[in-house]
Amino acid sequence: MNTQRESHSVLLGYLLWIFGFMGAHRFYYGKPVTGVIWFFTLGLLFVGWIIDLFLIPAMDREAGDRFIPGPVNYNLTWILLTFLGPLGIHRFYMGKIFTGILYLLTGGLVMLGVLYDYLTLNKQLSEINQDY
């Protein structure tokens, strides 16, 4: 019986894939470089976006191997970042109260902090979960 908890979800990966031409699912699975490429090229002119439909299960397994699961849930944090990023709600959830307040007052540091979180959120969560 597999008792290992997973960090990411295939279901959320596919939901983010809907916005994948903007790189959302690639950021979620810890692929920030290709996430940025997808963002600026509309998923490699939608061709890469369609191919990713078949690659998501492998990306999910790879993310499960790379990132440390724990009490701070990756899926909830990514949902909070995606939909409420400028308000800093994801930062409050991660226990980063000071930067949560800072994001709340500055619109996610004028969205630059939100962009930073898109690029580094999985690593941040692994570090937090490792301490538990």
Per-residue pLDDT of 14-72, as tens digits, reads 999 997 778 999 999 999 999 999 999 999 999 999 999 999 999 999 999 999 999 99
What number is the average pLDDT over the span 83-103? 97
What number is the average pLDDT over the span 81-95? 96
Question: d(Cα 83, Cα 99) in Å, to the nearest integer?
Answer: 17
pTM over cut 0.85: yes
pLDDT value at residue 4: 55
- Confidence at 6, pLDDT banded by 50, 70, 90: confident
Structural domain boundaries of the chain? 10-66, 74-130
